[in-house]
Amino acid sequence: MGIFDFFKSDKPNEIADTTLKVDFHSHLLPGIDDGCQTMEDTLENIRELQSQGIEKILTTPHIFKELYPNTPEIIREKLELVRKTLKDNDLQIEIHAAAEYYLDEWFIQNFKNMEILTIKDKYILVETNYMERPHFLQEILFELQISGYKVILAHPERYNYLLSDFRQFEDLFNTGVLFQCNLLSFTGYYSPVIKKAAHYLLKNKMVHMVGSDIHKIKHSKTIGQFKKTKEYKDLMKLNLLNNSL
């Protein structure tokens, strides 16, 4: 048994559920990262999600020390403002906030001594540099796991350092890290090679959950169109964790 076998998780199984009720991984809190910039943007996106049958939103602003030095206090304050605005506009939808943590040297040095915004049952959403594989990636994933976190890797299909050889996905998957693919990736929105990688993960049942990664209304509307396709129905046949979050 290898060192990571202890954390290895089973591949999702196919089931009959085809209804996505929980939207996970978005940037809907206005003005604190590269997502929605105004409250009007936020409301427009939330209305679009409601029209798609979403009943609960788990939004995840960036925490990236160099670019988006958000804190739990900043995020909670903005979340309460959004909740109040939703109520004032008669929009009945559940919304919570965690964070998308950028894995860098600063995070490695500080995560044990700071408050981590997690999703239910200590799920933590993380991302890495898109172009270069962090030399400490295996180390930090292991450290988070032994600290009791259930690590969700945001959009693995978008990391350029994994796209040269799809077999690398298997190595990472086998560490017990949960894979969250972006719905937009399946549409070709980012690039053809990212779409190919997303379908590879789908075909091999290496998708634990899906994320909208909404930053603007174009994302929401593109996802709405994708939800009408056969590819989306195939994705919904997996035992996704979204609705249990």
Q: Reply yes or no on domain 20-239 having CATH 3.20.20.140.
A: yes
Q: Which of 178, 64, 179 has the alpha carbon at shortest distance from 110?
A: 64
The mean pLDDT value for 203-232 works out to 97
Q: How confident is the model at residue 18 (pLDDT cuts 50, 70, 90)?
A: low
pLDDT for position 5: 38
**pLDDT of 121:** 85
Mean pLDDT of 114-122: 95
- The per-residue pLDDT for range 69-95, each reduced to its tens digit, is 999 999 999 999 999 999 999 999 999
Cβ-proximal residues to 218 (8 Å cutoff; 6+ apart), any chain: none
Closest CA to 54 of 92, 16, 99: 92
Amino acid found at 187 = T
Burial class (CB in 10 A: 0-12, 13-18, 19+), 207: buried
Q: For 41-55, what is the mean pLDDT?
A: 98
134-144 per-position pLDDT tens digit: 999 999 999 99
Q: What is the pLDDT of residue 4?
A: 32
Question: Which pairs with CB-CB distance under 8 Å and at least 24 residues apart come from 113-116?
Answer: 115/72, 116/149
CB atoms within 10 A of CB 163: 18
